Structure 1
Amino acid sequence: MKNETPHKINWENISSYLNGEMNKEDKAAFKKLIDSNPEYAKIVAASEKDLNWVEEVMHIRKQYNTNNAWNKVCKQISDRNSGNSIYLNANSIVRFAAMIVVVIGLGLISNTIYNKHLTTYQTFISQVHDSNKSIVLADGSTVTLNGKAKLVYPGKFEASARIVSLEGEAFFDITKNPNKAFIIAVKGAEIKVLGTSFNVIAKDDKIEVLVESGKVQFSEIDNNKESVMLEKGDFAILKENSLNKTLMNDDNYLSWKTKKMVFRGMQLKNVAKVIERTYHVSVQFESDDIARENINTTFDQDPLKDVLDRLCMSLNLSYEKKGQTIIFKKGS
């Protein structure tokens, strides 16, 4: 689902921040809001530009002085008419007309300047049972969302950095641009790259990053401001203000995207977790004995039905499907 994103902006705070009227504590809190919210950061940056636009418009206004415009018109009228009554009647009319021309001109100029710099943000939300929903961004980067993920991004990248925000899970394949970093803002953290591919899970209790290629800088921004550099195969998790880097040893971590699953002597209850994440279903067992059955097999982009049929055939089981719930039972 894609839609334009409405914003509730506190313009008083933005004005205080740009004019240097905030105290130290309020300024630190406002900077934290900007760092964690790319939409707000863009709006603040655009507001800062507005200060320059006002100066530009005022400069243009000086060039279109109403008195000068009036005097020129009056002189032409005076040259063509000898009667004072005509001149006096024309006085107020022409002055008013000249002012209208100037005001309309300034309005058109201001509107053109504003629209030129206006950035539209869009929101893409994947549905509960969706996966592999991809978006191609303005720079050619591709973002693939897992179910219930939310991506906020600009229609055009104009600033010195390419900034988006994410809630949920997504796989990023970023177009290289050494002059403009790509930044994913998530709650309490920031992922910064120049060109690479990686997976991100951003939830309330944790943030995970797995790098498939290239290099990624993963930074915690709320407290200790820790940062780690991740390369291919590296995995890092931020949880309870603790940022840890390790290696990923889960063969099925990206199964939701690749639909490839590898099970080596794995209990069926753990196989079920992979199936749930890959196909967005819920798996239950008729008994604990069934849940402890071991599986050795692989799947490569198989439909859910084929996966379930093969598992049941291998273990002499059956299954019942109720909506999005799968129940494994003893074979009949």
Structure 2
Amino acid sequence: MNEEKDHIETLIAKLITNQISDEDRAEVENWCKQSAANQQLYDQYKKLYEIDKDYFIEPDLGLDINSEWKQFQSKITGAKTVEMVPTSTTNWFKVAAAVLLILASTYVVYNFLFKDELILHQTANAKQEFILPDNSKITLYANSSISYSSEFGEKDRAVNLEGEAFFDVERNETQPFVISTGKVRITVLGTSFNVSSTDSHTEVIVSTGLVSLSSNSSAKELQLSAGDAGMLSTNGELIQYKNEDPNFNSWKTGLIQFESTSLKKAIEDLNKVYNSSISISDQVTATCEVTATFDNQPLDSVLKVLTSTLDLTIEQNGQDIEITKAGC
């Protein structure tokens, strides 16, 4: 893990100081896209360099590099040096000094210069609930993440979301709760709602209270109340509509309700709730419908009920489950 961290920090240093190849540049860009935490760390390194870049002027050949280097090192406690091969003898000091500054230890960067440390919560293959400093509750869906400053609640209540989460926000009239995800911003005072965000899709469904949904690229804003839903379309348009999906937050509650629901839609819901891999063979008729209610029952029990009700034939290979026949 440390080797990986050192590697990416070296590439970041090369990128910020313009000493990088196209291949390494692409690696850093892909790393930044992996999470909000990665992007914020890169931004902070870049900001740190921008703050002090005027110090790193190109020296003339008569400069006492060793003396200047020691003087610079004395400014930061806990700094870490990363070896780099200089591209020329005249710019070695500028590159090396910049790298030393940029790659100061995490403690120095975050606590000495950036006291608002990033706090990150991530989930793997299961949902998880977190309580924020203001007592707001957030349930993160599988493979999702949320990040916020350690100063959350002092000046603002701002979080970044990747993936899906259900929010139960503690009301605060003087300090709105702001969620940034994808290309939209969601602003509330105190309410409960579900947010689902992917690269091409962002949807908000409100359970209680009022939610403001806005796009980063326009001045338009939607006001959503309980039962409303809003989304940002692929062409950047904000759309408001009534939520007609009773299972929009079943992944959180465990309560699943089907009322003359197509088998295809039912399986989509089950896959989301149980994070499973159930598929339907092309041979199964599209007219199959499901009417049933399941309340936090294990997937095996749910499948047994469906098998009995719809006369299903199910084949399982490891984690993959396929419905190959149906009597409906």
Given the two structures, how large is their TM-score scaled by the length of structure 2?
0.64
Q: Counterpart of 2:246?
A: 251
State the partner residue of 1:183.
178
Q: CA deviation at 1:11?
A: 9.3
TM-score, normalised to structure 1, is 0.63
Q: Which has the higher helix share?
A: 1
Aligned identity (percent) is: 29
Aligned match of 2:278: 283
**1:121-270 mapped onto 2 (5 Å cutoff):** 121-127=118-124, 129-130=125-126, 132-157=127-152, 159-222=154-217, 224-239=218-233, 240-270=235-265
Output the aligned Cα RMSD.
3.6
User: How many angstroms does 1:200 deviate by?
Assistant: 0.5
The Cα of 1:324 is off from its aligned counterpart by 2.6
The amino acid that maps onto 1:190 is: R
The offset of 1:250, in angstroms, is 0.9
* Structure 1 unaligned blocks of 5 or more: 13-35, 51-103
Determine the structure 2 residue equivalent to 1:311: 306
Any idea what SS the aligned residue of 1:179 has?
coil
**Distance in 1, Cα, partners of 2:264 & 2:287:** 6
CA distance in 1, matches of 2:214, 2:251: 25
Q: 2 CA distance for matches of 1:301 and 1:124?
A: 25
Q: Is the CA contact 1:208–1:238 (under 8 Å) kept in the aligned structure 2?
A: yes
Measured against aligned partners, the alpha-carbon deviations of 1:20-74 in whole angstroms (never above 9, x if no partner) come to xxxxxxxxxxxxxxxx99958x969x99xx9xxxxxxxxxxxxxxxxxxxxxxxx
Q: What do residues 277-318 of structure 1 show as CA deviations (whole Å, max 9, x unaligned)?
A: 111112223453355322211111111011000000111223
- The match for 2:69 is none
The number of residues matched between the two structures is 242
Match of 2:116 among 115, 119, 129: 119
Query: How far does residue 116 in structure 1 lie from its aligned partner after superposition?
Result: 10
The verdict on how the C-alpha distance between 1:144 and 1:216 changes in structure 2, with shifts beyond 3 A counting, is same
Contact 1:134–1:144 at 8 Å: present in 2 too? yes
Could you tell me how far apart the structure 2 residues matched to 1:175 and 1:243 are? 26
Q: Distance in 1 between matches of 2:128 and 2:313?
A: 32
Contact persistence 1:171–1:197 (CA under 8 A): yes
State the shift of 1:321 in Å. 2.5
The answer for unaligned runs of 5 or more in structure 2 is 18-35, 52-73, 78-107
Higher relative contact order (CA 8 A, sep 6+): 1
Mapped to 2, the partners of 1:331 and 1:245 lie a distance apart of 37
Deviations 1:103-160 (A, max 9, x none): x9xx9xxx9xx75971111222211x31x31111121111111122121122331553
Which residue identity lines up with residue 183 of structure 1 in the other structure?
A: V
Among 281, 285, 293, the alignment partner of 1:298 is 293
- Aligned-partner Cα distance in 1 for 2:211–2:120: 24
Are the equivalent residues in 2 in contact too, given 1:191–1:219 (CA < 8 A)? Answer: yes
Trace 1:28-39 onto structure 2 (pairs within 5 A): none
Distance in 2, Cα, partners of 1:177 & 1:319 = 50
